[in-house]
Structure 1
């Protein structure tokens, strides 16, 4: 019975959920976002008691998936193969590239010293190795929400310390 509640509620509000996802991440991604959100909810379907709870969880799941999709697209913009070949040809170890590499190494080194073990693990898996929240959560045995909070705190610590070292 809970499966019927989740499915019927999700399908009844699908258009509104899609509209919300399109407003956050763009219309091209909206269908993928609501599909991803429904798949995430499916694992929780035995504990969904009624239609109101299913609706609240649906909106929350779609919103979070849309925000994740938007952040991924803005933090890692896609480049066509032709453009990437052109970019690679132009980037012959310029000073800017060397400076970026030095800054990157400084941030990683700083984060190793400043962050506690769990924060660094989350930071490394998500920001350095490029894993998504779900993958990091599975790897470290955490919830996705805990991964988001830990990553946010880690970034804040790194940002504060990095700013202090740059002003000195």
Structure 2
């Protein structure tokens, strides 16, 4: 793979890799560092990328593994888990109301088991096919579907519990 092919293949994936990294590592800075490290690894191994069926799936797999390794490493104790990386606005009250449900869904997603969180991110946020997710996670499509179903059920139940669909209990 030459330089131009590499750029055309992996640079458009940069945002997707960042979102996956951020979902796993939480911190914006750590996610940006992870994407840089992954792109560097891919660049160094560009001669072997042609051996893979899907370079995109390979890049996502490398990103996922790198992020999980970061969490397991001794450096993980230094990771900042912050949610203050979002810009503030003058009309904070209106913004909070508008984003409350979306924020709650992401908060619930963060509390899911790692496998469910990754599958939900790859399927519902990144909109990958089940076959691609199965390949990335080194699993089968049925297991991915079951994991996704369980993750969605957990999110749905948490949302129902939070909002109770307008039914008040006395």
Query: Taking structure 1 as the reference length, what is the TM-score of the superposition?
Result: 0.40
- TM superposition score normalised by structure 2: 0.39
Q: Looking at CA atoms only, which structure, 1 or 2, has the larger radius of gyration?
A: 1
